[in-house]
Structure 1
């Protein structure tokens, strides 16, 4: 009938997650989603036998007692719907929930954007094609964040070691079963009845999938810890990633000094002769201090990179990409006597690179997004905020440390002290960055205002096949003249959430396009991660 199928507990309508349990004998059933509601402790008091849970869909069809099988006459009148039409209708439903199949063919209902290309006329053409795709991805990401908002959330409170209040609560999954709140996200916790709201950062996810939100800023020092229920949670969407992609494309199109002329034409896919850098002195010893000795394929990759303005290194799983990348960075610093910018799409990859590169004796600074500075890091001693707060160069650094200690003790500072702290911290961070041999950050963090005045002649991007082209461009437009991509186009590419943008090839990485344009990658051929019997299948199948 007209009764909607939805979870009794969280309200999700994703039928692929829904199942049922008997409630009163066999005459009444209750619908529950598989995750997380089936396993929550709150339902154990309902006297339902949760072990008898069964899915609503079996053998690609709803259970026979749930829906009426159409007659042959009904089936003959049914309209055949293609997968492409379903995709367009789903896209229309995001803006118009009442849209029907008739609406997908209306003029202007769904205008297909230009797909990404192999060749571009100039920087403006590059921007005009990819900017709309980034906008589509941004709009889709914002919509997904908004769908995470939840009412009726129950909270229990705690106080962290730094004396900040932490709220713990459980957010049910979204309608498609995917939990998108991760450590580092910003959430707004509010209670309308108490007229209270406060922003916080997700600090942890417990074993029970509870979110630990550390409150900060206004209203964080005196939260309603006596109240447990009636809270509302909103995910704070930030356009930072997408804005920096757009700014990088604009810089690439407008500023002549954003990249070298050779790289400019290479990125656009123009047919230019390969170049070799002049005045390069090849090192007598290729292996870097405190790093493993290089194997023949790694040595060949290092030699090629040192001499070329554009290099691609393909590293299948377990072939020592991190060691090779760290060795390359060591030699680039020694050759150019200039700072090197090292990036990757993920924080985990950046941390691993920063740790390895620091073993060579180079001065490494790991720049984190400000929202992640309070999170535990395996390379804490290398982070910019740690080094800036532990400078030992006179009166200013002593005052900075005292203000930081005062803020940790009191929870917040007066307006004048906070202003003084910001000024001292900016100066200290600039001093640390200026003294660094290598700056490590994510591709998006390369657009951080703290790096806006810095120029990096050499840029290395690890996991380059997992970054979109605009994302990879963010570190490149810092004046790059020597560019190194490290990755593997035979593995997973960038994650694109917008179906329209994905269809328009936003998920194609710059690494992959360079390979298709004929740039030959140096392949690492010796793997150390698994037994030869295990590596034989992926090696023969994909490589």
Structure 2
């Protein structure tokens, strides 16, 4: 079976030359190899099969760092062979393996581990064969390698006369390392045992649950022919991750294993759906749209925009594609054929607009299919950040490493010490804008003067406002460069908007399609379009295109000279583009990006001594590390560990520690938080329960009851307390996927409540939010509102948002209607039992909160029982609204 091998090249490490990826002359085509840069852009694709396994030929010479793995059945190799082809003598070579064992004397660039001449291949392309024994660094799902190959010989290479360059081939064995040379002498032919079945490969690659004592210490020991020459990183251990990491290697192995599990489960889920679900089931689940016609329509900062519509011109089925989602474009199926990746720009009832990197050929011809895809970029950047955290010296990763891992005697005192950045600490004696309350001022002062600060922002307390004030103050003091990040694009946009309003020169990194339309002019792409050097670059591109068109009429030396001119022009264009980028980034006081986006290759090796992470409690620990390892010396984490944790797809990864944020672990380590205590969002009665239950009664009200009058259109049990619980009977049901739940009776009740609220004229559609914990219920209610009056412009419910609880964190509405869904005789409520989910759901509302549910089911949980008891005691049960 053909396998797909992904190689992610990290261009910021030296220079990677991928001038040619070709079929091996002895190989038989069985699949494809996809070379991806850090943004997931496909560079080249080819794969061949040789009698010795799968291999990839690259032409070039330089420093290459990458990751290798097979997506089909997740069969990965244990051994990496570097085959140097050449018609002449190899003058010198070095093979480096990055083991990340500083304590064992290996430097952060990867010291020479173990290499031996296995023999020479016989034949026309004879050359030196160097073998490196290496266990997969990221558990069994990823091979992490660093190869430094230096060879210099004249001669005939790849039918080209080249000097000072070479061809090297990476040979991936899909069998256990049972190969051996018939003789150790040069010139002997290599022999490899037959490749076993994929299942046997997987078993051979699974690390032991209980590593040896030597492995635990991280020592390198001599092994037999079936073992490894490198320490064996473990698969993620069972149980929660520790708070304090005495050994950095344990932290590295744990989290690289966890993110590997997360990616594996995500890919497995997507591929399982593609291969085994029927087309109708995929459509019903909202994961696929097919039988579409496409047409190009404009560009977004140079990237083509494609519009996909139903071939019959009608409405599209209810689907899950939304702004910023990654989608796979194919003709019939997203596997086994050439596909195109894109990002959803926006959607409507009859069309979906998608931004692609390059317009596919024949886009108007035939029909298209859209599928939701899995994103590998985040995994690659997190894995790289973990390596930099542990592999790098203090000047190349972060000087905060020991503190972050809990390897200091007194973490709280260490965090409170002044940051090691030039200049004296400055205290915020007076708020120049007069917009900070007492707790916000205290948090800002701490953030300015401590090298690590945790700011806890309960709902409605202005944590983003506080974060912007921290950034603006630091920028005004000239402390930059500053990197401002958050887990979601929405939160980054909020930071960016606040900074621009404060007059800060901030630039946004990332895909413009994922940025709020009103802020796109602040993106790096937009500023590059308006750069004064853009005309020079356009002239170069036109000259390059003209010369390229004229190649067909040239021969011999003239053609060779033209190729040289083209190469020079390409280098000049790259130099000019980099000059423009560097200038814009150098001038920016604050660079804004998502946590994962801060690993964008466009930032290169740029360092940011000051890093702020908003939504830090929604970011997994590896995700938070991506901006931190850019040389952070002064760190501010803003979040609320009483609200939703990081979103993790894999249950085993979540249980292993990926579901706990760095923010929360640091609290468990003993660091104190600076809590914002005045909320400005909720009616005091809405704040009453969450303030007492989740925040120890410390929340105060910054608004009074008169500023939050109860909305008309609903019979509130107590008009002085706009909170109500509407009891509804009716059993829950599973959706077509069998993984999400819905409740028709509760959906109908919710529809009636929203209809009456809007009919009273006190509210508009955008003032009301419908929240539910299950995606199946989101789809059911979206369909109900669409059919009952329309959610589109001009429709009865235009502006109404129906979202999951996770989709509403950080949001607010005048009225929230929370549909709980769960109703069963067993009293099972699933992840509704997460008290953080309840906290988020009931703190989104400003003027009114309506809960819809089955009280008997919900009472089986302690937190829900407490809320229902509180509502009954205050007479807030809306029995008069009626049962379903």
Give the TM-score of the pair, scaled to structure 1: 0.68
CA distance in 1, matches of 2:543, 2:305: 14
CA offsets 1:278-328 (integer angstroms, 9 cap, x no match): 72122443345xxx6111111111111111001000001111111110110
- Of 406, 429, 436, the residue aligned with 1:269 is 406
Give 1 or 2: higher helix fraction: 1
- Of 285, 289, 309, the residue aligned with 1:168 is 309
CA distance in 2, matches of 1:447, 1:504: 24
- Of 595, 600, 607, the residue aligned with 1:448 is 600
Q: Does 1:247 align with 2:389?
A: no
Q: Does 1:363 align with 2:537?
A: no
Alpha carbons of 1:298 and 1:112: their partners in 2 closer, same or farther (altered >3 Å)? closer
Look up the SS of the partner of 2:237 in the other structure.
Answer: coil
Q: Which residue of 2 aligns with 1:457?
A: 609
CA offsets 1:482-504 (integer angstroms, 9 cap, x no match): 11000000000001110111121
- Of 616, 629, 635, the residue aligned with 1:477 is 629
Shift of 1:167: 2.3
The equivalences for 1:20-419 within 5 A come to: 113-114=237-238, 115-147=240-272, 149=274, 153-162=290-299, 164-168=305-309, 179=320, 183-191=324-332, 199-204=340-345, 206-208=347-349, 211-214=352-355, 216-217=357-358, 219-220=360-361, 222-225=362-365, 227-228=366-367, 231-256=368-393, 257-261=395-399, 263-270=400-407, 271-272=409-410, 273-274=413-414, 275-277=416-418, 279-288=424-433, 293-369=435-511, 372-373=512-513, 377-392=517-532, 396-400=533-537
- Of 681, 692, 695, the residue aligned with 1:540 is 692
Look up the SS of the partner of 1:154 in the other structure.
Answer: strand
CA distance in 2, matches of 1:144, 1:125: 28
Alpha carbons of 1:283 and 1:539: their partners in 2 closer, same or farther (altered >3 Å)? closer
Q: Relative contact order: is structure 1 or structure 2 higher (C-alpha 8 Å, sep ≥ 6)?
A: 1
Look up the SS of the partner of 2:606 in the other structure.
Answer: coil
CA distance in 2, matches of 1:378, 1:246: 33
| Runs of 5+ unmatched residues, structure 2 | 1-207, 210-234, 281-289, 545-550, 552-562, 696-884
CA distance in 1, matches of 2:578, 2:592: 18
CA offsets 1:450-473 (integer angstroms, 9 cap, x no match): 223211111100000000001000
Alpha carbons of 1:182 and 1:117: their partners in 2 closer, same or farther (altered >3 Å)? farther
Look up the SS of the partner of 1:460 in the other structure.
Answer: strand
| Contact 2:489/2:515 (8 A) holds in 1 | no
CA distance in 1, matches of 2:296, 2:386: 44
| Contact 1:459/1:483 (8 A) holds in 2 | yes
Shift of 1:136: 0.1
Give 1 or 2: higher strand fraction: 2
Alpha carbons of 1:241 and 1:260: their partners in 2 closer, same or farther (altered >3 Å)? closer
Alpha carbons of 1:458 and 1:500: their partners in 2 closer, same or farther (altered >3 Å)? same
CA distance in 2, matches of 1:215, 1:433: 25
Shift of 1:521: 0.3
CA distance in 2, matches of 1:444, 1:286: 33
CA distance in 2, matches of 1:466, 1:536: 25
Higher alpha-carbon deviation: 330-339 or 158-167: 158-167
| Contact 1:385/1:429 (8 A) holds in 2 | no
Q: Which residue of 2 aligns with 1:21?
A: none
How many residue pairs match? The answer is 413
Alpha carbons of 1:320 and 1:260: their partners in 2 closer, same or farther (altered >3 Å)? same
| Runs of 5+ unmatched residues, structure 1 | 1-106, 408-413
Shift of 1:508: 0.3
Q: Which residue of 2 aligns with 1:467?
A: 619
Alpha carbons of 1:509 and 1:404: their partners in 2 closer, same or farther (altered >3 Å)? farther
Which entry has the higher C-alpha Rg, 1 or 2?
2
* Root-mean-square deviation over aligned CA pairs: 3.5
Shift of 1:215: 5.2
Alpha carbons of 1:224 and 1:357: their partners in 2 closer, same or farther (altered >3 Å)? closer
CA offsets 1:415-473 (integer angstroms, 9 cap, x no match): 96888665533321121011111000000011111223211111100000000001000
| Contact 2:293/2:364 (8 A) holds in 1 | no
Shift of 1:332: 1.9
Q: Which residue of 1 aligns with 2:132?
A: none
CA offsets 1:310-363 (integer angstroms, 9 cap, x no match): 100000111111111011012222335321100001000001101101222221
Shift of 1:186: 3.5
Shift of 1:259: 4.7
